[in-house]
Amino acid sequence: MNVVEAVGLGKRYRSDWALEECSLAVPAGRVVALVGPNGAGKTTLLHCAVGLVGPTTGNITVLGGLVPGSPEALARIAFVAQDAPLHHHLSVGSMTEVASALNPGFDAEQARQRLDALRIPLERKVGRLSGGQQSQLALSLALARHPSLLVLDEPLARLDPLARHDLMASVMASALEESISVLFSSHVVAELERVADYLIVLGHGQVQMAGDIEELLSAHAVLSGPVENLDRAHAEFALVHAEAAGRQVQVVVRLPDPAAPLPGWERAPISLEELVLAYLREPGASALPGPLRVAAARAAASS
């Protein structure tokens, strides 16, 4: 089953397209990182997935064909929006009561235990919590809904390194314990490899790259060689990004056969950060699942 599936998804705000011809399939049971520069459309894609906005073109479904924003979808998707917007004038306890009242099956006991473990007092006003505590509160409320899909929009953006670590550890633990699929957007590329096992790179409103992180890393490489090799590289590989330094050139390429020898090139393994940055620097480059892969994923899910 795909937890999110989009075909030709487009979203326009007045005259600006935030998303355009966006096709992807996010498999279930994965921790998926959605990365991209500012304005790439990450938040819009997540908002489409949780039903906050509807698409202008194309379509998007969640959890194996549900309409985003439908009662069935809302009951199984928990969303933590950017900056974890909560009612600042309420106490943590009251905020928990609000979430409990709005969600049948809300596990208030689990939320309280988690908040207790995080030393977030129930009587404190939400507005008086630190940014990290607010994010943890929002995550606690989301996890207490026992969702099938947890969607997090920039959960790490305003956290210090320790808080980032704690938050993502919480997410990972819950994902493992309760088999929750997780889709989160992030600017913090350096920490993705540790937490995510599936990557989607979004640039200029379109999906540039999507796939299992291990597969993506093994299918790409950093090659170094004389600058004369550059023309050959164009012919032999899918060239993602090239940087020349004097007579030497360093290229990031997608290899048709990762095991094949590469005469004339010095090969180095690529890190996830290098891979992501290479794609972000080249908006025209892509390694897409495309609509065909979406269809294949759908067929695989139904078989």
Partner 1 sequence: MTTLAVQPTPAVASPAQLVGWRDIAKVFWLERRGALLGLGALLVAFGVAVVIGERDAAAAYGRYVAAGCVQHRFTYACLTNGLTNNSDYIPALRIAADVFPVVVGMFLGAPLLAREYESGTFRFTWTQAVGRRRFVFRTLAIASLVVVVFGVVTGLLLDWVNHPFQVVALSSQWQAGVFDSAPLLMAAWCVFGLFLGVLLGAVIGRTVAAIAAAATVIGGLALGATVVFVHWLLAIAPVVKSGISPITNPGMVNQASLQGQGFPGAWFVRAWYTGPRGNVQTNDQVMHVEVQMYSGKGGGAEHAASWLSRHHYVYSLAYQPHARFWVFQLGAIALLVAVSAVLVVLTARVVERRRA
Note the residues at the interface with partner 1 (CB under 8 A): 13, 47, 50-53, 69, 71-72, 74-75, 77-79, 81, 83, 85-90, 94, 97-99, 101-105, 138, 145
- Contact by Cβ (8 Å): 45, 202: yes
Q: Which amino acid is at 265?
A: W
Kindly state the smallest distance separating residue 199's Cβ from partner 1, in Å.
Answer: 24
Question: In this complex, which beta carbon is closest to partner 1, that of residue 38 or of residue 303?
Answer: 38
Please, is 22 exposed, middle or buried when counting C-beta atoms within 10 Å of its C-beta (0-12, 13-18, 19+)? buried
**Residue with smaller CB distance to partner 1, 138 or 240:** 138
Euclidean distance between CA atoms 135 and 139, whole angstroms = 6
In whole angstroms, how close is the CB of 33 to partner 1 at the nearest point? Answer: 20
- Check if the beta carbon of residue 60 is closer than 8 Å to that of residue 5: yes
DSSP annotation of 228: G
CB distance 197 to 176 below 8 Å:
no
Least CB distance to partner 1 at residue 126 (A): 10
Nearer to partner 1 (CB atom), residue 48 or residue 280: 48
Of residues 54 and 226, the one with the C-beta less far from partner 1: 54
Q: Are strands 31-35 and 181-186 parallel, antiparallel or unpaired?
A: parallel
Decide: 138 and 80 in contact? Cβ < 8 Å: yes
Task: Identify each DSSP E strand in the chain by its residue range.
Answer: 2-13, 16-27, 31-35, 57-62, 77-80, 149-152, 181-186, 198-203, 206-212, 220-226, 238-245, 248-254, 266-268
Contact at 8 Å (CB) between 153 and 43?
Answer: yes
Least distance (Å) from partner 1 to the CB of residue 53?
A: 5
Count Cα neighbours of 22 within 13 Å in the Cβ-side half-sphere: 35
Q: How far is the CB of 34 from partner 1 (least distance, A)?
A: 16
Distance in Å, CB of 36 to partner 1, minimum: 18
CB of 71 to partner 1, least distance (A): 4
